[in-house]
Every structure is written in structure tokens, then in C-alpha cells.
A and B are shown apart, each in its own frame.
Chain A
Amino acid sequence: MSLRIATLCFGGLLFASGTAAAAPPPPPDVPEPETEPAPESQPEPQAAPESAPASEPEVEVEVEDEAEPDAPDTAASEPAEDKGEDTDEKASPFKSKYLTIGGYIQPQYTYRVRKGARPRDQQEFGAQQTRAGLILSGEVLPKWSYKVHFVIGSNIASVVTGVDTADYEGDGSTDSLVLRKSLVPGVAIEQLWVNYNPLKVETKGGMEAFSLNLRLGQMRVPFSKQNKTQNSSLLFPRRNQVVTSFLVSSDLGGLLEADFADRRVTLAGGVFNGTGLAVNRDNRRGPLWSAQLEISPFGRLKGYESALELDKKPRFVLGTGMLYSPYRLYDSAGNDTLTRARDLLVSGSAKFVVHGFYLFGEFIRRQVTDNLSSRPFLSTGAYGQMSYAIPLGPNLFIAPLGNFGWSATEQAVQPLNRYFTSDGIAFYFPNKHRLDAVRVSVLYEGEWFVDEGESAQGGTLQVQVKF
């Protein structure tokens, strides 16, 4: 149903925002658009003031051939900052004050060999990871904005299509139930929030000195840098497995975010349900407190992973985050077990970009303690990834990329060490709106579960189209 409504909205917007979509591209030195979509009645963005942040990218492809019809619109090609959220949809041609529609399609084919598995599972291949995202956002009143991000996957939901009884020993007694399941397309909500911006202080030069945002709804928890990055803004087809072993998806809650000095310093804090934590305990009750600090002293950086930041001036951002969830545990009947647990995660990250070179590293530490077991659950993980974008003409960038990650879980008992890598090459095809309108990634992927004696290797081909 939601998809049908979104489709209708999409069609209506195509008609309503035809003027905006057909507008000629601004000159190369046009600054980034405002965070809020400009009203249709407003004039085209003005030329950048001299005091504009030095972080504006220089897109060499445009300089080489300004008459090239497919040359990207630099203003639109760089997603606008939006309180730390990646805002790919802001570069969409389908935008108005009230509703902007953007999204992505990510068909993906994976082939993987896992020698230690059962014979049936030793080879995995197919396009099961294919998905698409539809992002709706807008500003219904000054200072009030919203976003809804749907993810439509080829096999998001697993449904039970039949039940068989199993008698493994042939003695006539039922040993187990065998569920026949099918993976079916489904729709998941990645983000669903309303944002209120009650305070925004600008200097005379137009720099944003301070901004305060209050957000409520479902969102990616601001803790790990990558966990906050949305699907289409990742450098690789999948999130790093180190991150996914600590956190999953988004969570429901409220967030307060303060930006200082033209967003060179961002401090965010919030409280969430805690269901986004990778904890398989259904009878826990307690809030999840989140805090994150990011400092980019030489100018703000985009909230996405890419080597397509072409500014020749080096910039970096340091970040740290913390999640803290004190909770009570109840038994299956709902009675208090008197068990009080504390789940603490901390992260640290560093990102460096210069003229198409991208380097990022992050580590995460988790410790879960309680008053009953005398058995802490400790986990640590770290990963690094890098890429370098090389322009090969006005309509193509080629970017080698690689990452390597390590995670160790249950370090207080018998640590399970796992290593991951993903290496390959990405081809970026720009259009007038984005430098990464189409991305084709070809990757080798390997994972080694050294303490469990199993490994898997394979490759992935992913095509990503943003609209």
C-alpha cells in the first residue's frame, strides 16, 4: 500500500516539479544547496560568497568540458548536509518544498564458496541481496521537516509456507518440526522521522554558527559512523560485517543534535528503544542512550562514504560514539528476574579525504555486564577501508577500493576471531545531478572464521542507480 502511494506521489511530483527538473545546471562554483529544499518560487541559488567553506569540491570533469551535456551538476551532485544524515534525495531532480523524492536501486549478484559447509550450502550464488530504496522528504513548515525511507528487497521477509514433522530416528515419535520457508519481497522502513529546527544562528558572513535540531521517529542510531550512513551512501555493497555484528538497522527514538561552527563540530544525543542492538533477548526492558561527537577542524565532510570528494584540500573528521543501555530482564511469564544488565558500546572513527582519496577507519568495543552471572560479554572490532577515484573523462570515474576488518566476540570466554576483506574496483558514471548516478562495483570478498575453522570466499557484482 505504501509503495502504491509512493508511486502515485512520484508521478504527481514529476508533473508538479517539471520546472525544477528542467532547470539548467548552475555554474561550477555554485555552493551547496541549503539543507532545506528551496521553495519553487525562490530564485536560482546565488554564487558562493567568498566566505563559503573551503570544503566545496572541485569537479575537474566540468572544467574540462562545460558543454558536455552529461556533465554533472556540481551543486546537485554533492549531497547536501542534513544534520549528519546522508541526503541523497536532495540531489534528486524531483524536488519541491513539500516533497522531494529520491532513491536507489541496487541489483547485486553474489557468488560465494564455503568449503566447510554442508554440501548443499557450499556454493551460494544469486541476486538475493538485490534491493531498492525510496526516500521521501520535505519541509511542510519552516523549521519542520520529515523523511521516510522505504527499503524494498527481493527477499526481505521469510514466511513459513509449510510445516513437516521430522522423525529422525524412525521410531514413530516426532523429533522436530521442519518449517518450509520462502523468502518473499517485502518492504521495510529504514527511516521515518520528523525534524524540528528551533534554533539556527548564522554569522554575518552567512556561516552557520550554531544549529539545534530535535528529531523524533525511526532513524539510524548515531553511534558508529557507518551505522549512521544510509544504504546508498556506502562505499561497498554491504555494510562492513564488523559493524553488523555490533549493530543492526535503525531504531525508534528521539534525538537532539547540535551543530557548531558551520558543522565542524557536531554533538548528538538521544534515547531509543534499544531494539536496534544485536541482542537476542526479548524480555529486556530499558532505554538505549546514545551520544556521538564529530569534529572536522578543516571543514565539514559529507556524511557518506565515497572517494568522489574531489577537493584538493585535505580534510579529516574524528568521531566517537557511545551507546549505553541499562536494562532489566524479565522471564517468559513477564516476572522480574531481578537481573540488571548494562550494555555499553563505544566507538571511535577517523576519516580522511583529499582530492579523490578516501581513507576511513573505525573500531567498536562492546561490554555487557550484569549482577547475576559474573560473566561479561566482551567484543571488539575494527576495520579500515580506502578508495581512490580516478577521472577517466567527463562521464567516468574509476576507483579501486578495499577494506579489511576484524572482530573478536566473547573475549571473556573463548574468543571467536573473525576476519573480513572486500577488495575490487568501482566504476562511477555521473549525470547532471550526481557524480555517482550509476555505480558498478566488482569485488572479491573473503571471510575467515579462524577459531571456528571455516572460511568463505567469493565475489560480488553490484550495480547501483540513484535517482
Chain B
Amino acid sequence: MDLNFTDSENAFREECRTWLEANVPRDSLASGDTRDGYALHLQWEHQLFDAGWAAVSWPKQYGGREATLFEWLIFEEEYYRAGAPSRVTQNGIFLLAPTLFEFGTDEQKERILRPMARGDVSWGQAWSEPNAGSDLASLKSTARRVDSGWRLSGQKTWSTRAVFCDMAYGLFRTDPEQARHRGLTYFMFPLHAEGVTVRGVDRLDGDEGFAEIFLDEVFVPDSDIIGEANQGWKVAMATTSSERGLSLRSPGRFMATASRLVDLYHRYRDRSDPVLRDQVIQAWMDAQAYRWFTFQTVTRMTNGESIGPDSSMNKVFWSEMDVRTHETALAIIGDALELDEGSASAVDAGHWMKGFQFALAGPIYAGTNEIQRNIIAERVLGLPRK
């Protein structure tokens, strides 16, 4: 056990901090889930990439720094501490890229990764369908074999920011003779091609952050399937476990939220009570506990262990912690909580109400927490499936 950062880790932190302090936009950008805000966020992503910060843990040849996992955590701590913009490229960098690194061909990695990390080509996920949410394997969209490629048809939904994206990825049934998890293939497909219709759906907070994607005989070349045909489930599961595990939600984000909560408490102390005080302390402790838990997980990964179903514990913890923390913030703000980002009188520019609504999505996306609890019970505790 050595919980001191090494000299080189400290130097890395210093480098992150210096760059972020000099470059993070002073005024927060418009929401990345709106059309104008998205464009501003992409500019920020270009800037991050050009300075080598977009995907620090990636190999240098794709624009990364070959940072260790601990350095990545340090980067994240500094990133959120600096109040830097949310990462609109995360569905590519954190969800698709790990799959490409594991299953992609050299040609795919060469072609896709750098533009993805720079935000030149932006990616949305297309997992869910209208009748396939938690039960993802019941999906109905199909891909039909044609000369040198496939024709995709069907409907995907709850696709994050797909109205602003160029490309998406998801599973399609390629073998109609097989059922459920078998006979699916992992496709990357264009969103601006013939046969594609994308319809934005306004989320709980009113931003057009969701979309439905309708596909009608959309052509995709062989070079845009990941892994082998009919092996898509295995390939996809590699991504979903990184989605619910480490990569999507590093401790830095929650530590930053907790310290902003402490700051909020200080500013509104006169209207707070012992219950709120305890809740603020609990929120701060939760973020610390999540940090130590993550350091333990990263040590295991660094030693070559695979995390597997343990990632479900992670996902339940951070998503429910995030909701509690925002609930506490709103309780401190009191009746002014309803003033959102459109109101000049809103506390902290309505950031807490916005964040609260975003936090409420956490227990639902990336596999609902009910599904996660099933996974924990069956695959970690060994309880019977039926």
C-alpha cells in the first residue's frame, strides 16, 4: 500500500493544472446538449486534442500521452477541479474507443481514433430500441448482407446527442435464424447517409440531448463492423462494462461536485440546519470513499486483473451518490431551486437544478440500477438466476 503519488505523478498533475488554468474558458459554455453549445464544446475538444489532453491514456500514435490509469485519474481530478467543460466526445472516447482497442483492426484504429478524439467526427451510441431497453438482446433492428457490406434497417432510441453527431454505433441482427445474444453484429454507421432519419427528443431538462434514429436500408461497408459478424454481443459487452465502470465516471467529477457543495453550504449557512449539515458531510465522505474505491480498482487493473461484474457496484454507487448530492444542494438553496438557467436570479446560474436533472438519468442509463443489482446478486454473490 502506498497512497502517495509518485514524483512523476505529481509532475503530471502540475502539468495538467498549469495547462487547464491557462486554457479553460472563463465563462461556462452553453449546454453541450444544445446545437449551439455542442459546437462550442467541439471547439474546446479541438483545443484539448491539439495540446494532447483529449485522451491522455491513449497511445501517442492516436494523439494520446500513454498515461497510466492513475495519471488518467489525476487528469480527471484536475479537469473537474478546474471547472472545464463537459466532454461531448465521451461516447466516442470512453465507450467506442475501448472496444476498438480490443477488437478493432489496425485500419479502423488508424482511420477512426484521431478524428474521434479531436471531435472532427463525433459519435453517438445507439444501444436501445423502443422495445429493447434493459432487455437489450431482444433488439429487432437488422442488417442484411449485400455486396461488400450490409444494409441496416430498424429503429434506435435514447441516442445521446445523435442530432449533433456524425456517426453512431450499435448492435444489429445479422443472423435471423439465431435468437437473443447470438447472431448480432456490432456496426458503426453514418448518421448523414441516405436512409437515415434522426429525430431529436427533448430530455427532462428540455435540451435536445436524446434522439431516435430511423434506418431504412442504410449501406455500411464490411470495414465498419467491429469484431466478427454474429459476435456483436461479446464485443458490445466489453463497452458496456467500461460504460458502467471506471471510464465514464471518474472520482474527480464527484470530488469537484462535493467541494462545490461545501462552498454552497458556506454561502447559505444562515438558512441551513443540522440535517443539511450532516448531508453535506455525507456527500463529501461519499466522494472520498468513491475515490479510495476507485484507486483500489485501478490498482487491480494495473496488476492485470479484470474487474468484470464488480463494475456494477461502481455504477450503482456513483449514480445514486450523484442524485443525493444534488438533492442536498437543492435543499440548501430552498425555494429558489426552481429558478433554472434561464433565470437571472438563479443561484449559481441554475447549475444545481440542471445537474440534478442530469443526475437523475444516472440510475437509468448504462444499464438501469435494477439490472446492475441483478448482475451483482447473480455474478458476484452467486445467487441463482431463476
Chain B binds chain A: no
B-binding residues in A (CB < 8 A) = none
A-binding residues in B (CB < 8 A) = none
